[in-house]
Structure 1
Amino acid sequence: MPLPPLTQIPPQIAAVADYEDYARERMSDAAWAYLSGGAADEHTLRANLEAYARLRIQPRVLRDLTGGGTGLDLLGTPLPFPILLAPVAYQKLAHPQGELASVLAASAMKTVMVASTQASVGLEDMARAAEAPLWFQLYFQRERDDTLRLVRRAEAAGYRALVVTVDAPVNGVRNGEQRHGFRLPADVEAVNLRGMRPMAGAVARAGESAIFGSGALDGAPSWDDIAWLRSATRLPVALKGILAPADARLAIEAGAAAIVVSNHGGRGLDTLPATLEALPWVVAEVAGRLPVLMDGGIRRGTDVFKALALGATAVMVGRGYLHGLAAAGAVGVIHVLHMLRTEFEIAMALAGCRTLRDIDRNALWPHPAIP
């Protein structure tokens, strides 16, 4: 049986990665396979982590750090540091309070949480519990009216932005979930989607197409749907799941307010590039026209620093805070964010960067893979 959540943080947890073993002990095998696994052979999942180690920071000494800070304005929201909570579905698989614990942690740390369409807590309940800005991650539904209903609910509840996931018209091949027979338990569901027509599943017999012609792609969004969404809401629309520079250009043309460089945490198509590898190419295409965020593999404050040095405006952390949630609830998520922020500020100080504006390519040791 899984262990109960921690009631206090043991001193052995000194870094974000230390939470992983504690989280694993407190989750079922099937839930762990769903929340921590990746697609197929998990090459992309591992690449997201490994990419940071290939970059080196360029230290600078005797710099004037007086009055330094990490504040920024993102889509009209002032933030004390550039680390957000990424959307993660079904958080009650990790902790009985689920997303409410994560909302409380984001509020305590005064940062943005991006709430998932597939949250196991209602979007209005999260909004009522929040004391910091919330963004809403949106999956397009089969019926446009259902999609619009979600948007209107997010607007009415006070969410500040929409983050549209664009890289998952179908789920990836998640062998870990298959091997453990993952199914949502009876007490966990995507409560925000009650009453909506579900997306079609890909079930085919031998000799039949599993995807094309099966209905699995019914309702998958296109660029026309992004244009429709922008016309239907007053909220800024960010597009999450951009890796190709050509798609970044199309996102700008479609009027996106921000881009999130993401490979879906390695859960979609395996053998994609790590997000840190794709980031500078997307940044070069965007050329400062809108904010570029990124997620994938962040476990250290130095990871945040390297992402900003490659042009990211801010980062989203996913599995790292989920492990804190599973281990210790809201306190665990707060601890994860606090460690990341502290390590990030230490990295800035030791690299001679007083503010976020000082973190650029010159803060990295020259690397031939950076365009």
Structure 2
Amino acid sequence: MYVRGLGGERPAVPVAPERLQAAAQARLNAADFAYIAGGAGAERTMRANLAAFERVRLLPRQLSGSRDRDLSVELLGHTLVAPLLLAPIGVLEAAHPEADLAVARAAAAERVPFVFSSQASVPMEDCAAAMGDSPRWFQLYWGTDDEVTRSFVRRAETCGAQAIILTLDTTLLGWRPRDLDLGSLPFLRGRGIAQYLSDPVFRSRLDSPLPAPALQPARTPTLLRAAAELSTRGRKYSLNLSQMRAGAARFTGTYTRPDLGWDDVSHLREWTGLPILLKGILHPDDAREARARGVDGLIVSNHGGRQIDGEVAALDMLPAVVAAAGDLPVLLDSGVRTGSDVAKALALGARAVLIGRPYVYGLALAGEAGVREVIQNVMAELDLTLGLMGVRAARELTSEHVRL
């Protein structure tokens, strides 16, 4: 980057997290940026996630470094080139027209796992085809239609997913003022529901749509524009406007399940032989119950602060969950912005981390190339951090390398 700078070339994607977000905001319209960047309520949880990393300080050792550092980690029987995954993010078309497909290509190029979202803008099959043999996982939202859920699991298996992540903290959609103030929910416009519209079981339900007053025939200019969007998206799936309205209505009426319980986790264990990770674990007792239910890993997360306002910071709960998890691998997301953040999470017991908003901002700025730059920046800073701390491998980071 410095050498290219001699010729006047600047990075397409700002390196500093704050400037990265600001550049993406300048590129996106208000509704799309609100959906990507917003959090629950007064966004106290979002701020708490960032503040938690501020409270953890790295403690380097001198004269113990190495010319080359090893970023690789072992996870669920696979070797990852770095302790980094791309988190599942819904409605990526809000950031860039190529959406999940651009992210899939970027992840494949950098050999980091991409977690396909249930709320994707591109079907998982298309993303898997673009990734070759690169690692991919699938994130599952469990709605009220168990047959659709099972269909998603079967498709993920067929797509070569190496694991299923069951998200637990979004059985209801959080109170999100940025979206509410704009009256903007992308799913009502047919955005972010590609996995559903491409699913044979879900499509078989479209002849019996659920009632949705917001989706009645368009009469105002705004509704007419929404109808035009639905029609355009419907053509991708050979669906007419009526079917698209039915699809959006059925999705909004069935995709959340507030009464999801531990027995459902046991059912999922019966449905698939793939490793299962539970995402949204914050309480140590939930980690213990997860072990008893035979899951394969945990993800400490508060959904990036998008669900409960005033919730505990994910990083603050990481050590306690790791202690309760026993031999289960524990990952972390929520608030990770930099390579030094990754180092802090690893030192506190995480096996790997997931990044979310940063790569979406890169996607907004430069598509696939922008996502790659964000990945490269995080990995480069992690490598330099290890070198400056006198640590030869990412997996060697321990609590001895941090002070609270």
Q: TM-score, normalised by structure 1?
A: 0.88
| Corresponding residue of 1:332 | 370
| Corresponding residue of 1:113 | 114
> Are 1:191 and 2:183 an aligned pair?
no
CA separation in 2, counterparts of 1:215 and 1:140?
9
| Corresponding residue of 2:57 | 56
- 1:76, CA displacement in angstroms? 2.0
- Letter in structure 2 aligned against 1:255: G
| Corresponding residue of 1:234 | 273
Q: How does 1:66-85 map to 2 (within 5 A)?
A: 68-85=69-86
Are the structure 2 counterparts of residues 125 and 11 from structure 1 closer, same or farther at C-alpha, using a change threshold of 3 Å? Answer: closer
Are the structure 2 counterparts of residues 68 and 218 from structure 1 closer, same or farther at C-alpha, using a change threshold of 3 Å? Answer: closer
> Are 1:39 and 2:43 an aligned pair?
no
CA separation in 2, counterparts of 1:200 and 1:18?
43
Are the structure 2 counterparts of residues 199 and 305 from structure 1 closer, same or farther at C-alpha, using a change threshold of 3 Å? Answer: farther
Q: Is the 8 A contact 1:57 1:364 kept in 2?
A: yes
Aligned partner (choices 236, 240, 245) of residue 284 of structure 2: 245
- 1:188, CA displacement in angstroms? 2.5
Q: Where does the alignment leave 5 or more consecutive residues of structure 1 unmatched?
A: 1-7, 204-213
Greater per-residue helix proportion: 2
| Corresponding residue of 1:355 | 393
Q: How does 1:43-192 map to 2 (within 5 A)?
A: 43-65=44-66, 68-131=69-132, 132-184=134-186, 186=189, 188-192=191-195
CA separation in 1, counterparts of 2:12 and 2:172?
42
Q: TM-score, normalised by structure 2?
A: 0.81
The alignment-based identity, stated in percent, is 40
Are the structure 2 counterparts of residues 87 and 364 from structure 1 closer, same or farther at C-alpha, using a change threshold of 3 Å? Answer: same
Are the structure 2 counterparts of residues 84 and 46 from structure 1 closer, same or farther at C-alpha, using a change threshold of 3 Å? Answer: same
What is the total number of aligned residue pairs between the two structures?
348
- Give the CA RMSD over aligned residues: 2.3
CA separation in 2, counterparts of 1:36 and 1:200?
30
Aligned partner (choices 271, 293, 296) of residue 334 of structure 2: 296
Q: Is the 8 A contact 2:142 2:256 kept in 1?
A: no
Q: Is the 8 A contact 2:144 2:254 kept in 1?
A: no
> Are 1:283 and 2:322 an aligned pair?
yes
Q: Is the 8 A contact 2:83 2:352 kept in 1?
A: yes
Q: Look up the SS of the partner of 1:59 in the other structure.
A: coil
Q: Is the 8 A contact 1:142 1:220 kept in 2?
A: no
Q: Is the 8 A contact 2:72 2:395 kept in 1?
A: no
- Letter in structure 1 aligned against 2:382: F
| Corresponding residue of 1:312 | 350
Q: Deviations over 1:184-236 (max 9, x none)?
A: 274634111123669999x9xxxxxxxxxx99975642111110111111111
Q: Is the 8 A contact 1:99 1:120 kept in 2?
A: yes
Q: Is the 8 A contact 2:25 2:33 kept in 1?
A: yes
- 1:138, CA displacement in angstroms? 0.3
- Letter in structure 1 aligned against 2:170: A
- 1:173, CA displacement in angstroms? 0.6
Are the structure 2 counterparts of residues 173 and 354 from structure 1 closer, same or farther at C-alpha, using a change threshold of 3 Å? Answer: same
Higher Cα Rg, which structure = 2
- 1:65, CA displacement in angstroms? 2.0
